[in-house]
Amino acid sequence: MKQIYFSIFLSLLFLTSLSSQELTLNKGIGVRKTFLDFNSLHEKSFDAFREYSNGMEIFFVKKLKNNFSLILPIGIATLTDSLTDYSIDPVVTLGAQAQYNLLKKEYWVNPYLIGGVNAGIPKLRDFYVQVPLGLGVHANLHPQVKLQWQSDYRLPLINGKSHLQHSIGILYMLGNTKTQVIPEKVIETETILDSDGDGIADRLDLCPSQAGLKDFSGCPDTDKDGVADKDDRCPETAGNKKLNGCPDADEDGISDPDDECPNIKGTKANKGCPDPKDLDTDGDGVLDKNDYCPEISGSKNAIGCPDRDNDGIADKEDRCPDIAGVKSKGGCPDPKDLDTDGDGINDKEDNCPDVKGTSKNKGCPEKEIKPESRDTDNDGVTDDKDLCPDKAGLFSTSGCPDSDGDGVADKDDRCPSVAGIKSNGGCPEVREVKKDSDGDGFTDDIDECPFAAGVERFNGCPDSDGDGVHDKIDKCPKAFGPSTNAGCPEIERRDLEVLDYAMRAVQFDLSRSTLRPESFVTLDKIGDILLRYPSYNLIIAGHTDNTGNEAKNRELSERRAKVCMDYLISRGLPPGRLTYVGYGSSQPISDNKTDTGRFLNRRTEFSLVIPR
């Protein structure tokens, strides 16, 4: 490395002697040490920077107009990825970049922005193309010598992988710094351009083609919410500055475009919707998970269902929904306490239960008792109308007694001491006793889950995990999950990214089913993911390109998938949750006509699936 720096230094001195006659410093040559960081972004930890890859670049500089310079770097580097411990050594890089100096004049320290295109040619791999975007700073040690530091983000366009690149180096400007003859200054009147006519010069206007406001450096604010349109995610709807100009109708701190329940307060974890466990759809104070009528506002005493007479019995189960009653009578009042005509005398003691009367006349009105009428048994029914004139009875039974109060006179009642129905001769209706195997209050003939105690909301089926999906249709009855995912927990985005990355990271020896050492780290991560989702199974699918015989390709892809499964089983994963299959070249994801396409088609896919 020392010999390289010494050679470059001699080259700079030689070029200086050749350029001694130049009067301006508009060209330059430099060398810099590069550090390639593939891990900080992907591991989400800047500690990973310690495992950077090394490189070196020689670059040429050509100054252009308006603070712009053209940079042409040529370099060599090694690529090391800590996720796989796999190196590509070496790689040759070529590029063309534009540099914009943020200061018009030369100061001791000069910051700049960088952007352009860069290509790499790795050994035994397909070339890649990247777009570097970053910033740097020059420290002027001498008018011709500058110390340089630069950091940029490398965005992949073709192949490759996104990463950070940092560099430190030295730049030597070619030319002569002798005193030059400065011509007499000519005072010129500067023409101030204002393309959009908003009173802000184009050189100061961040939106020179759109009339705007001074407070926003010439940019417009269409919805007048204090956020310039260029920074406003919702430029035509007034919103909140903290939410980048978008509204928040339910004031839950989540902007309406990102809120799946914009009119109901929720949480970020549920994408703006309330937690299903705390949901009260009808707003009656009874949570949906406990509410027998979750979409109709009701009473807490009736477990969330309507109860018009406030007797604690839901209207749908109340035979007398408008009259307060007791549960033993199906929501109707006890006959002993019934006062149909509201005269303060119970029907059982009221000789005129349908007409208001007085206690003196046993519930009958005064006018209905005729002095000349004879009433032998004093039951309020005159003998000419009394079917049982010698036994005190009720007006409703034509003067005959009704011992069990079922509305059937004892003389006609086949069961005079037991309340019954008229159609059955005064005896109770004989009903078939239906079986309720699980004892949840729903007989087996209407219980969709007759051997597991459940709730009315799910027709007698239980919901063990309380996720609103009952066990009969819940693919994961012991794990909380949304109905959109068959009651199973959703796979987190970071885990899906690992499974997608594994499709390319798990590698085999050429034309063989032997795993390369760098693949084991990725397979261990897949094993950890499978343990975090006990309700899911894993399908391992092998694929090849179309090179060679299809039958052999299918056999090779199947062997490779099985090798991955065997490795996971050896690490303690349950075999019953793993399945493998080989598709050969029958399911390509890219064009097999190019090396890149064939490389992408040679893959092993890992998919988490819900068991049927």
The CATH number of the domain holding residue 48 is 2.40.160.20
Look at residues 306, 334, 337 and name the one whose alpha carbon lies nearest to residue 321.
306
**DSSP letters along 37-106, please?**
ESSHHHHT-GGGGGGPEEEEEEEEEEE-STTEEEEEEEEEEEEEETTTTEEEEEEEEEEEEEEEES-SS-
Residue 603: inside a domain, yes or no? Answer: yes
Enclosing domain of residue 142: 2-174
Identify the domain boundary among 144, 174, 204.
174
Shared domain check, 500 and 376: no
Of the residues 174, 209, 241, the one at which a domain ends: 174
Between the alpha carbon of residue 276 and those of residues 279, 545, 602, the distances in Å are 5, 46, 43
Quick one: 8 and 148 in the same domain? Answer: yes
pLDDT of residue 84: 45
Whether 140 is in a domain gets the answer: yes
Which residues have a Cβ under 8 Å from the Cβ of 380 and sit 6 or more positions away? 351, 352, 361, 362, 363, 364, 369, 395
Boundary (domain end) residue, out of 174, 198, 218: 174
pLDDT at 400: 92
Residue 531 lies in a domain: yes
Domain-located, residue 368: yes
Beta pairing partners, 113: 100, 135
Same domain for 367 and 511?
no
Asked if the structure places residue 179 within a domain, the reply is no
* Residue at 235 is within a domain: no
The two three-digit tokens of residue 309, written as one number: 């007479």
pLDDT along the chain (612 residues), means of 10: 44 41 73 85 60 86 87 86 53 91 85 93 82 93 90 89 89 67 48 85 85 89 90 90 90 89 86 78 79 82 84 82 78 73 77 79 67 72 86 87 88 88 83 76 84 83 85 84 87 92 88 89 94 93 92 94 95 93 94 90 92 81
Give me the pLDDT at residue 48, please.
55
Q: What is the CATH number of the domain that holds 551?
A: 3.30.1330.60
Total number of domains in the chain: 3
315 in any annotated domain: no
What is the DSSP track for 309-337? T-SSS-GGG-SSTTS---GGGTTSPPGGG
Scanning the structure block, which residue is given the tokens 């199906």? 330
Note whether 6 and 153 are same-domain residues: yes
Rg over CA atoms, the chain: 44
